[in-house]
Amino acid sequence: MYFLYKSIYLDSVDKQYKHIITISHPYPPGLKPLIRVVKMPKLSVYTSHERICSLYAFHSFIDASKIMPVDELPTLISYILSQHYTIDYKLSELLKDHSQHNNSTILAFY
């Protein structure tokens, strides 16, 4: 089972925080070409270590040199379905309501 999350990312080029789509596992079959590792900067100079040092994010469908923003989610869902995955809507709703992950859970699929 795989999970998509809405994560906050500091774009080093634009110097802006953005909501991006990340995934729980790095390389599910059929989605590997869309995923890249994103190193997360320290959130504060006062933090000695971070829990998460990198995330698995998707390339944008519009510009592959950029990370996929949340507003491309409908296109990503269509692509996931075209790769013969099944979206678990009930589990996705449960996870949205009771997420203990730092990032917001968007959906679960297998």
How far from chain centre, in Å, is Cα 85?
17
Tell me the HSE value of 7 on the side-chain side, using a 13 A CA sphere: 23
pLDDT number for residue 13: 84
Is-contact 81 110, C-beta < 8 A?
A: no
Q: Could you give the number of structural domains in the chain? A: 1
pLDDT number for residue 90: 86
State the virtual CA torsion across 56, 65, 82, 23 in degrees, nearest 10: 10
pLDDT number for residue 94: 76
pLDDT along the chain (110 residues), means of 10: 91 87 90 90 61 85 94 96 93 71 78
Tell me the HSE value of 84 on the side-chain side, using a 13 A CA sphere: 2
pLDDT number for residue 50: 52
Question: What is the domain range of residue 84?
Answer: 2-109
pLDDT number for residue 105: 80
